[in-house]
Structure 1
């Protein structure tokens, strides 16, 4: 199984277009050892030809142009994208669908709750009906397995996570199972597994159980501290309030991952304010000592 990190940043990417925080300012002025990042998305394949996209960020066009394996190979119009799975309906995970409107109908796999959001509060599916159209395929969120036609030798297990629907959602303040999911991706022929969850607000028992069964974790790396955006005068909202488990502190991601023995541990969906974006920071040294990696755009993982 080959996993390509198309984008490793949180909403807005890094540097964010209108941000002058400590990280964004230093990266623009070449005063830090770090990499620019587009907004979070991955692609998965077993044959390096037929790819499943997980999320479609607003940066999808640039991400595809940077990834030759998924680019057109045959005919006047072609793509290696065979299907798309949405883990939630957040703007930074779905807006890229609009960039894919020139092609054939899009086969999109998502929960019924995500479909509701994308046909009501943010009606992307309705808008695309006049372009390529969307073929929606409902997926479970109870841990049961399913496969996707055209994506050979892969099986998927999706689980509901505690989270909030996007601010635009008609049920923003009425959470439902299926608003946000974590995904175990298994290669059937080898048994190798990866757990993908760029948004984790709470480590429920079934989440920890999933983490213990896989060979690689690609999990929420949004914030270093719970009050990160507050202390930088960017927002009054704390990490846990908006559905992200910070890395540091009691019960944080570092502590959680210390209880997972065998898996390769990689953080994804990293906010522009997070000090781990600086490769020379003390926070990166802490992650290094804990055996935790920080993903970057273009990272390829072979399992």
Structure 2
């Protein structure tokens, strides 16, 4: 199984277009040891030719240009993207669908609550019906996790894991959380027996999610904020990390503490906000990650399991 990190930043990318925080100013001007990143998305393949796009970021065209495997050029019009799977209906995870409108009909895997959002609060499904169109493939999220397979990913089994979170601000059920508003994804290679757990938005852990994380060989999880009050302290938002559906790395019960308890051979943070000090590779916060055996995802990162 092959995984390519197409984008590793949180919404807005890095540097964020209108931000002059220490990180954004530093990477823009080359005064800190850091690398630019596009908005989070990964691609998964069993054979290196046919790919499942997991989240369609607004930066998808840039990501395709940077990833030759997604444009194999076998015909006059071609793509390596065989299907798309959405983790939620957040604007930075679904807007890229619009950039795929010139292609063939999109097989789209998502939960019923996300599909509802794409027809109501952010009606991309209706807009795309006038172009390529989408073929909705419901993700099973009710009750016990139910594994499923996608034809283009022969030998790979996937499981959608409902996570505790809120639907996007434009969702009709924003204040009425539903199973599937936000999911984690367990990916199993049935040949090698190796597993990946992907969760770019992880606000809290329950026993079921913790058990799944303990079973995974590779964890690719929420790295949005370093502290709970990061955006408040910088004056960028009145909201703490928890209210935005993210578990910060530092502090009691934070992601570092969680990952320290996990036996996975690789522990990688993704969906990193532009304000997070770990983006400066010379920072003490970045050094702390290394001390705990935690990696930082970057655009173009390749993982083989």
TM class by smaller structure:
over 0.9
TM-fit CA distance, 1:213: 0.7
TM-fit CA distance, 1:73: 2.2
- Counterpart of 1:159 in structure 2 is 161
How well do the aligned residues superpose, as a CA RMSD in angstroms? 0.7
Residue 108 of structure 1: SS of its match in structure 2?
Answer: strand
Number of positions where the alignment pairs a residue of Structure 1 with one of Structure 2: 303
Matches within 5 A, 1:145-294: 145-294=147-296
Distance 1:284 1:248 in 2: 11
TM-fit CA distance, 1:119: 0.4
Matches within 5 A, 1:292-303: 292-303=294-305
CA deviation map 1:150-181 (0-9, x unaligned) = 22111001111000000000111111111000
Structure 1 stretches lacking a partner, 5+ long: none
Whether contact under 8 Å (2:195, 2:217) holds in the other structure is yes
- Counterpart of 1:29 in structure 2 is 29
Distance 2:264 2:280 in 1: 27
Work out whether 1:71 is the aligned partner of 2:71.
Answer: yes
- Counterpart of 2:55 in structure 1 is 55
- Counterpart of 2:115 in structure 1 is 115
CA deviation map 1:249-292 (0-9, x unaligned) = 00000000011023310000000000000001000111000000
Whether contact under 8 Å (2:187, 2:196) holds in the other structure is yes
Distance 1:75 1:201 in 2: 43
TM-fit CA distance, 1:27: 1.0
Instruction: Tell me the TM-score normalized by structure 2.
Output: 0.98
TM-fit CA distance, 1:70: 1.2
Structure 2 stretches lacking a partner, 5+ long: none
**Poorly superposed stretches of 4+, deviation over 6 Å:** none
TM-fit CA distance, 1:233: 0.6
Distance 2:179 2:46 in 1: 30
Distance 2:43 2:66 in 1: 13
TM-fit CA distance, 1:74: 1.4
Instruction: Tell me the TM-score normalized by structure 1.
Output: 0.99
